[in-house]
Chains A and B, each alone.
Chain A
Amino acid sequence: MEFPEDLKYTREHEWVSVEGKVATIGITDHAQHQLGDVVFVELPAVGDRLEKSDAFGVVESTKAVSDIYAPVSGEVVEVNDDLPDNPELINEDPYGDGWIVKVTLGDPTDLDDLLSADEYRAYVEESAAE
């Protein structure tokens, strides 16, 4: 199970990576493992506005439909066009080619309450122990 150090995480199992004013968002290795084979992804449109903590898309596996929640607020500037035809990228490379959207980060303080890699790893391990 991977928890890259340079990313921030949510308790809903999304990751965020920030470069300048652009935040890239995806779901974590733990999330894709729990879901199983991803067979469909519902993406927002470029130009849509995401609100922190609101659901902005859906990742579907064979058996389950799972909402994706925005870790930060911002305007969608790019969506991963490879996902509609190759949803399995989320399973194969959740932190790389399986990225989901990029947004312009409106308010950098949105990042403050996100989890570090260590905090997220601890959270996942705690939840597994229940």
Chain B
Amino acid sequence: MRRSPLHELHRQSGARFTEFAGWEMPVQYRGIVAEHEAVRARAGLFDVSHMGEIEVGGRDALALCQHVTTNDAAKLAVGAAQYTLWCDERGGTIDDTILYRLGAERYLFCVNASNAAICSAWITEQARAFPGARVVDRSDELGLIAVQAPRAAELLARAGGERATRLGRFQCGESSVAGVDVVAARTGYTGEDGFELFAATADLSALWSALLDAGRPLGGEPIGLGARDTLRLEAALPLYGHELSRDISPLEAGLGWAVKLGKGRFIGGEALAEAKARGPARRLIGLRMTDPGIARGEYPVVAGGRQVGVVTSGTKSPTLGIAIALALIARESVDAPLAVQIRGREVRAERAALPFYRRAAGDGDR
């Protein structure tokens, strides 16, 4: 298994580790529920260095980005970021990513750890048709630390990153935190305000330690992948491999807003246009369990005794205190009385509006 450059620091912080996408990463430090609550109430630091970073440059950079993604990259001014998906010819999802525009001809994709190698190979192959585009996989040189939650800006400022706190939501740019050069972005995966900081792997320990020190008096703490998952699920954010896959298109996952069919041709565009015209056969919906029980990924969803779908992710929500789930359901059954099959029993659930959790509006919404 690969390890983050911060592995030893995590060990010293009392982390328990798990395997994820071939990496040994912290799953928890103090405990998943405690860490989840820390992020919602105060601040949390996430080491997500296992994710991949792919830089695209040159005069054809925009054209290549447009070709491989579903969202409209032409809308990005320098210093802006957008959520966008990569699809294959069938409209199946290769990955969901954030695209950052760092310069006139300089773009950066942040891709999921589980798809980093696939994405790198895919875009390199597609770039052959764009001789004016240069693709550089920077995953090994760059690490990524996320600072999330209500006190994220305060934490960042205390760590010498005050300039980065002036970024608005989904803005990005080169900056400096604790004397370390970073690319900072006001993006995140928790449903809270927060920042993601890309830094050279050689600088990562200094950056992490500075952020930990700055966070301590604010009640900030390191957060593992366990809480990362419960946080994103409450915010109804998709996790590739669960809500998205080669067999689940962005349209079925409710991400049609990130699919701009009018932007010009892109890989999967035709298949997605057809699917949109027909109406997707399945829809991703939120569920709230009404009988005792926790729905989990891969549990069947039934209506009138017949299977109508499957749970893609589920847990007991620490913030809401109830069992919640995302489920992919046949379109015609989304409003039927539903139940989840848990160990052979049918446990009733009702449809819940998404997201399950929404934070109060703040500075990060400018």
Instruction: Please state if B32 and A63 are interface contacts (CB–CB under 8 Å).
Output: yes
Q: Among A36, A42, A60, A84, point to the contact of B31 (Cβ < 8 A).
A: A36
Majority SS of interface residues in chain A?
Answer: strand
* A65 interface residue (CB < 8 Å to B): yes
Instruction: Please state if A62 and B293 are interface contacts (CB–CB under 8 Å).
Output: no
Given contacts A39-B316, A40-B316, contact A60 B294 (CB under 8 A): yes
Report the minimal beta-carbon distance from A43 to chain B, rounded to whole angstroms: 10
Interface residues of A in 44-84 (CB under 8 A from B): 58, 60-63, 65, 84
Report the minimal beta-carbon distance from B122 to chain A, rounded to whole angstroms: 31
Report the minimal beta-carbon distance from B357 to chain A, rounded to whole angstroms: 16
Instruction: Please state if A62 and B33 are interface contacts (CB–CB under 8 Å).
Output: yes
Instruction: Please state if A37 and B293 are interface contacts (CB–CB under 8 Å).
Output: no
Report the minimal beta-carbon distance from A89 to chain B, rounded to whole angstroms: 14
0/1 string, B204-244, CB within 8 A of A gives 1: 00000000000000000000001001100000000000000
* B278 interface residue (CB < 8 Å to A): no
List of B residues within 8 angstroms of A40 by Cβ:
292-294, 316, 323
| Interface magnitude class on chain A | 10 to 19
0/1 string, B322-338, CB within 8 A of A gives 1: 01000000000000000
Report the minimal beta-carbon distance from A55 to chain B, rounded to whole angstroms: 10
* B315 interface residue (CB < 8 Å to A): yes
List of A residues within 8 angstroms of B293 by Cβ:
40, 42
* B148 interface residue (CB < 8 Å to A): no
| A39 vs B296: C-alpha distance when bound (angstroms) | 13
Instruction: Please state if A62 and B315 are interface contacts (CB–CB under 8 Å).
Output: yes
| A84 vs B323: C-alpha distance when bound (angstroms) | 13
Given contacts A37-B31, A37-B33, contact A62 B296 (CB under 8 A): no
List of A residues within 8 angstroms of B323 by Cβ:
40
Given contacts A40-B292, A40-B316, contact A63 B33 (CB under 8 A): no
A87 nearest CB neighbor, chain B only: B316
Interface residues of B in 4-59 (CB under 8 A from A): 27-28, 31-34
Given contacts A36-B28, A40-B293, contact A62 B230 (CB under 8 A): yes
Given contacts A36-B226, A40-B316, contact A62 B32 (CB under 8 A): yes
* B366 interface residue (CB < 8 Å to A): no
List of A residues within 8 angstroms of B31 by Cβ:
36-37
List of A residues within 8 angstroms of B75 by Cβ:
none
List of B residues within 8 angstroms of A37 by Cβ:
31-34
A91 nearest CB neighbor, chain B only: B31
| A113 vs B293: C-alpha distance when bound (angstroms) | 34
Instruction: Please state if B296 and A36 are interface contacts (CB–CB under 8 Å).
Output: no
| A84 vs B294: C-alpha distance when bound (angstroms) | 12
0/1 string, A111-123, CB within 8 A of B gives 1: 0000000000000
Interface centre among B27, B229, B294, B343 (most CB of A within 10 A): B294
List of B residues within 8 angstroms of A60 by Cβ:
294, 316
Q: Which chain A residues have a beta carbon within 8 Å of chain B's beta carbons?
A: 36-37, 39-40, 42, 58, 60-63, 65, 84
Q: List 30 A-B contacts (CB under 8 A).
A: A36-B28, A36-B31, A36-B32, A36-B226, A37-B31, A37-B32, A37-B34, A39-B33, A39-B294, A40-B292, A40-B293, A40-B294, A40-B316, A40-B323, A42-B293, A60-B294, A60-B316, A61-B32, A62-B32, A62-B33, A62-B226, A62-B230, A62-B316, A62-B318, A63-B27, A63-B32, A63-B229, A63-B315, A65-B294, A65-B296
